[in-house]
Amino acid sequence: MRTNDWFKKMSFYQIWVRSFADGNGDGIGDLYGVYDKLDYIRKLGVDGIWFSPIYPSPNADYGYDISDYRDIHPDFGTLDQFKKVLEKAHSLGLKVIMDLVVNHTSDEHPWFIESCKGKDNPYSDYYIWRDRPNNWDSLFEGKAWEYNEQRGQYYLHIFAKKQPDLNMDNPRVREEVKGIMRFWLDMGVDGFREDVINFISKKEGLPDGLPFLPAVNGMPYYKDGPHIHEYMAEFRKVAEEYDCFQLGEGPMTTVQSALKYLSGPTKSLDMMFGFDHMMADCVYTEYIHRPFSLVKLKKAFSKWQYALAGKAWNALYLENHDHPRVISRYGSERFHRESGSMLAASYIFQCGTPFVYQGQEIGMTNIRLWNIEQYVDVSTKNNFHTYHVKDDIKDRLKRIHLSSRDSSRTPVQWTAGKNAGFSKLKPWFYVNPNYRRINVEAQEHDPDSILNFYRKCLALRRHSETLIYGTYREYFPKDPNIYMYERRLKDIRYLIVCSFTRLPLRLRIPKEYAGKKGKLLLCNYPEGRQLMAEHFKERLKQEVDLLAWEHGMLRPYEARVYRFRFTKDKGVQK
């Protein structure tokens, strides 16, 4: 039975196992490595782990093409090893959620192999077969239809060719999904991150899409499709038999359609990952690049914050395995420490449950390979060969540097030693050459590191009712350099101030804060080092106004968190 809402107080760490830590010395990250690093994860101050898929997979899309939903990829270990990880995680107070990828399987899944055999076998309707394809493009590899000789028909794949879409209209397929959920829930996992879950119901008749919308022309017919909420309700029922938490991934979802999954009679998810804020420097997540715009980022942040307020709960993130590294996008590699830590403060204190992706906590950056052949991600290759063809080779590679998902999939940089301490043997993929400078070990010893700043942010959030449940308000939304937001509960207010520029700036002050004194609890410059510790020990007595620090200036990529107590006589309390 659901015991409700435990996820609101939490924060999560996402593991993409192949590149996390290699425990058995074959160059591939695995569950032995994860086991050894659980204490590190706990010490970061999170309360749960989301595992990107760790099931058997031919790796056409690195785990998101599953060939067996009830086992562990041999590269990563065994079911027994997974159970050990689960048990230790639980003993450390960490919840564990799995990736549930049911829009499609691998073409090597036994269901698909059977389905190819003909129209009269029990798996025949598990997938979407047609004699004639429509005009949809896939998101990852050419057209969305592939001809299968054996069956003599085309099958639909919204993603890569090796990822045939399941036919969710078939009740037997939905029963399979429920069976998979039960399998992992019975083992003790705490929930699911549900992959591209808003794509699972397709419009009857699969009508042609608009021809001038490359890649996404079919999306209006498979996003939030006609039966989506019925199917989601079926899965929700299973989740409710357990104390299971459900988080949906909603590519290209609007906040209005997200609300249907998150609230009201069709509520079927506890949270949803939106993508709006991932498009402050691109269109359609990385297909088309444009210069970073803080105003766009803030608009996206605030849109979700305001729309969900009091109705639903946000999932907060800046990175995952599908996006390039955020310092390289929204921050500055030159102001590595400053921008890396500022970015933490820019989202962790918003209203919602924060997610930190492996390596983000030390500010890993994008990798620059010199040849497209060196990249391994199917969508990176597709973008290069399909959507960027008009540019010359150098520009095309530059766009790949800016946008490739492979940047988030380089091995985690643990030490300055061989293979960045990730593995004894040569790692399966390139290590970012900056590992000598950027690594966990160095940051452990540096009190002002990005890692230690993440720890402080997560600790501050976890100990503050206001930062968890308070209302959100943004100040100066049009300011192109500063992101300023407030969290408020009763008479306590936190003001989070983030500079997104390398130039020093005069700090702007919201009217109601003029002359007001509060405690400065966090600052990502060295003088901020002890503030929070002092606050926790109740030794931080000094109250300052917003201008007192640094003559009212904000330094490059500076972040500050202030705490104010507003009394009633000011007439501002709600």
Amino acid at 457: C
- The count of other CB atoms within 10 Å of the CB of residue 283 is 10
Buried-exposed string 242-257: b where 16+ CB fall within 10 A, e elsewhere: bebbbbbbbbbbebeb
Shorter beta-carbon distance to Ca ion: residue 22 or 61: 22
CA 26 distance to own-chain centroid: 27
Span 377-436, contacts to ligand GLC by CB under 6 A: none
Shorter beta-carbon distance to ligand GLC: residue 298 or 381: 381
Q: Which of 194, 249, 319, 338 is catalytic?
A: 249
Shortest reach from residue 159's CB to ligand GLC, in Å: 4
* Residue 196 binding ligand GLC, by CB under 6 A: yes
* Residue 425 binding Ca ion, by CB under 5 A: no
Shortest reach from residue 74's CB to ligand GLC, in Å: 21
136 vs 306: CA distance, rounded Å: 35
* Residue 159 binding ligand GLC, by CB under 6 A: yes
* Residue 26 binding Ca ion, by CB under 5 A: yes
* Among positions 24, 263, 471, 501, the unique one binding Ca ion when judged by CB under 5 A: 24
Shorter beta-carbon distance to ligand GLC: residue 221 or 242: 221
Shortest reach from residue 289's CB to ligand GLC, in Å: 19
Shortest reach from residue 73's CB to ligand GLC, in Å: 15
* Residue 434 binding Ca ion, by CB under 5 A: no
CB-closest chain residue to ligand GLC: 64
β-strand partners of 472:
487
- Cα-based torsion angle of the residue sequence 372, 373, 377, 378 in order, rounded to the nearest 10 degrees: 90
Shortest reach from residue 252's CB to ligand GLC, in Å: 10
364 vs 435: CA distance, rounded Å: 9
Tokens coding 430: 């390139």
Span 228-257, contacts to ligand GLC by CB under 6 A: 249, 251
* Residue 165 binding ligand GLC, by CB under 6 A: no
Active site includes 234? no
The CA-atom distances, in angstroms, between 114 and each of 107, 120, 150, 170 are 10, 10, 11, 16
- Do β-strands 282-283 and 271-273 pair in parallel, antiparallel, or remain unpaired? unpaired
* Residue 422 binding Ca ion, by CB under 5 A: no
Shorter beta-carbon distance to Ca ion: residue 24 or 452: 24
Q: For 120-179, give the DSSP string.
A: TSTTGGGB-EESS--SPBPSSSSBSEEEETTTTEEEE-SS-TT-PBB-TTSHHHHHHHHH
* Among positions 15, 28, 308, 498, the unique one binding Ca ion when judged by CB under 5 A: 28
What is the DSSP code (8-state) at residue 295?
Answer: H
Tokens coding 509: 């002050």
Partner whose footprint covers residue 22, from ligand GLC, Ca ion, none (CB < 5 to 8 Å by kind)? Ca ion
Among the residue ranges 24-32, 267-275, 385-393, 544-552, the one whose residues contact Ca ion (CB under 5 A): 24-32
Phi, psi of 105 (to 5 degrees): -120, -175
Shorter beta-carbon distance to Ca ion: residue 75 or 558: 75
* Residue 61 binding ligand GLC, by CB under 6 A: yes
* Residue 190 binding ligand GLC, by CB under 6 A: no
Shortest reach from residue 50's CB to ligand GLC, in Å: 11
Could you give the string, one character per residue 314-333, with x where binding to ligand GLC holds by CB under 6 A and - elsewhere? -------xx-----------
H helices of 223-264, where? 228-241, 255-262
Partner whose footprint covers residue 24, from Ca ion, ligand GLC, none (CB < 5 to 8 Å by kind)? Ca ion
* Among positions 30, 165, 190, 338, the unique one binding Ca ion when judged by CB under 5 A: 30
Q: Which of 47, 146, 194, 195 is catalytic?
A: 195
Tokens coding 272: 């949803």
Active site includes 224? no
* Residue 64 binding ligand GLC, by CB under 6 A: yes
* Among positions 49, 54, 101, 312, the unique one binding ligand GLC when judged by CB under 6 A: 101
The CA-atom distances, in angstroms, between 493 and each of 198, 341, 569 are 36, 22, 15
* Residue 195 binding ligand GLC, by CB under 6 A: yes
Q: Kindly determine how many residues on this chain lie close enough to bind Ca ion according to the rule CB under 5 A.
A: 5
Shortest reach from residue 404's CB to ligand GLC, in Å: 13
Checking 413-419 for CB contacts under 8 A at 24+ apart, the result is: 413/359, 413/362, 413/364, 413/438, 413/439, 413/440, 414/21, 414/439, 414/440, 414/441, 415/439, 415/440, 415/441, 416/441, 416/442
3-state secondary structure of 16: coil
Please answer whether residues 476 and 554 qualify as being in contact, where contact means their C-beta atoms are separated by less than 8 angstroms.
Answer: no
β-strand partners of 554:
505
* Residue 137 binding Ca ion, by CB under 5 A: no
Q: Kindly determine how many residues on this chain lie close enough to bind ligand GLC according to the rule CB under 6 A.
A: 10
Partner whose footprint covers residue 61, from ligand GLC, Ca ion, none (CB < 5 to 8 Å by kind)? ligand GLC
Binding site for Ca ion (CB under 5 A): 22, 24, 26, 28, 30
| Residues taking part in catalysis | 195, 249
Binding site for ligand GLC (CB under 6 A): 61, 64, 101, 159, 195-196, 249, 251, 321-322
